[in-house]
């Protein structure tokens, strides 16, 4: 048996989702049973999915991931924000794999090398990957829907306009001709009352529904919209647009108050599907 040289171990298993693989599979099965896929009119090319604990945002995530169940992609490109590490540019994991309770997911080393060559704003390293949950929580959903795949995990240490747009351009260049799925990892507004959150999140939802990454960037910059993964969402939407994808549909949105009952300090969630 070959031992992988550097594997990123789970950081939030047992907190954001079950650490026991059987319990995790049961939870995911239940989420998908309650979130059957609706009608999407073409091949899915990208998703926007939340990254909170599964008890809060799992139903929203499942509503998006249900549209890729049984599909095949060579590589899933996950673009996520950094909640813990502060660094310039973006970081792609330098190791060989991410570990989850459901097994190993290998990093696409060839695509990583191509991206590093295409952009001087992206570096290979562990910054943004060591304890960051925004990539990790997406993986079990992908493991139960896709089966075998590689990942290119990218964490943005900053979310300035120039990085969002330049990352999108670099991704467009390196993925042409490759069979990839994009995932933007983001939650929406944080710790407002549900009424205020609904108004703020409505701006983000409208921009995503319009598939307008430039308008979303403007609204994030002005404060009209809020999303901890707003930059990753702009970058992924921009890359998809540049690759000729024309459609984006919101398939679910809610806030934590809908689950926990606390309407005074909520976090917003959405999932969306992009297709050709």
Which CATH number belongs to the domain containing residue 66 in this structure? 3.40.830.10
Residue 203 within a domain = yes
Residue the block writes with tokens 């240490």: 157
For residue 71, is it within any domain?
A: yes
Q: 274, exposed or middle or buried, with CB in 10 Å at 0-12, 13-18, 19+? A: buried
> Do you know the residue count of the chain?
276
Question: What is the pLDDT, as a whole number, of residue 265?
Answer: 93
The CA angle 232-204-188, to the nearest 5 degrees, is 65
pLDDT of residue 225: 98
Q: What totals of helices (H) and strands (E) does the chain contain, helices first?
A: 10, 12
What DSSP state is assigned to residue 264?
S
Q: Tell me the pTM.
A: 0.96
Residue 191 counted as domain residue: yes
In the sheet that holds 97-100, the strands lie side by side as: 7-8, 97-100, 103-106
Number of domains in the chain: 1
Establish if 55 belongs to a structural domain.
yes
Dihedral of alpha carbons 197, 203, 209, 215, sign: negative
Does residue 183 belong to any structural domain of this protein?
A: yes
What is the number of other CB atoms lying within 10 angstroms of the CB of residue 71? 13
Give the 3-state secondary structure of residue 24: helix
pLDDT for the residue numbered 190: 96
C-alpha dist (Å) from residue 87 to 73, 91, 158, 187: 30, 9, 7, 21
2 within a domain of the structure (yes/no): no
Q: Give the pLDDT of residue 1.
A: 37
Query: Would residue 1 count as lying in a domain?
Result: no
Of 89, 125, 121, 87, which Cα lies nearest the Cα of 107?
125
pLDDT at 31: 96
Residue span of the structural domain in which 59 resides:
7-32+41-275
Query: For position 262, what pLDDT does the model report?
Result: 84
C-alpha distances in Å from residue 133, one per residue of 106, 121, 127, 147:
17, 22, 13, 21
pLDDT (tens digit, 0 to 9) for every residue of the chain, 276 residues total? 344 569 999 999 999 999 999 999 999 999 999 887 677 878 999 999 999 999 999 999 999 999 999 999 999 999 999 999 999 999 999 999 999 999 999 999 999 999 999 999 999 999 999 999 999 999 999 999 998 999 999 999 999 999 999 999 999 999 998 999 999 999 999 999 999 999 999 999 999 999 999 999 999 999 999 999 999 999 999 999 999 999 999 999 999 999 888 889 999 999 999 999
pLDDT for position 3: 45
């Amino acid at each position: 048996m070959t031992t992988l040289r550097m594997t990123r171990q789970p950081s939030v298993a047992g907190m954001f989702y079950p650490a026991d693989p059987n319990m995790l599979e049961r939870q995911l099965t239940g989420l998908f049973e309650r979130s059957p896929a609706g009608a999407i009119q073409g091949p899915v090319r990208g998703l926007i999915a939340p990254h909170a604990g599964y008890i809060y945002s799992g139903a929203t995530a499942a509503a998006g991931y249900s549209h890729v169940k049984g599909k095949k992609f060579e590589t899933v490109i996950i673009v996520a924000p950094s909640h813990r590490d502060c660094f310039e540019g973006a970081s792609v994991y330098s190791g060989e794999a991410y570990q989850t309770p459901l097994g190993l997911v290998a990093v696409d080393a060839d695509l990583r090398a191509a991206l590093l060559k295409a952009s001087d704003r992206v570096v290979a390293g562990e910054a943004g990957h060591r304890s960051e949950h925004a990539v990790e929580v997406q993986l079990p959903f992908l493991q139960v829907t896709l089966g075998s795949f590689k990942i290119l995990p990218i964490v943005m240490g900053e979310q300035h306009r120039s990085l969002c747009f330049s990352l999108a351009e670099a991704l467009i260049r390196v993925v042409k001709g490759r069979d990839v799925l994009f995932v933007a990892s983001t939650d929406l507004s944080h710790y407002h009352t549900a009424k205020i959150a609904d108004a703020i999140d409505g701006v983000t939802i409208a921009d995503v529904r319009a598939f307008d990454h430039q308008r979303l960037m403007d609204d994030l910059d002005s404060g009209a919209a809020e999303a901890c993964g707003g930059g990753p969402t702009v970058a992924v939407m921009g890359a998809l647009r540049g690759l000729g994808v024309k459609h984006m549909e919101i398939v679910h949105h809610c806030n934590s108050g809908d689950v926990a009952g606390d309407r005074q300090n909520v976090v917003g969630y959405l999932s969306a599907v992009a297709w050709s």
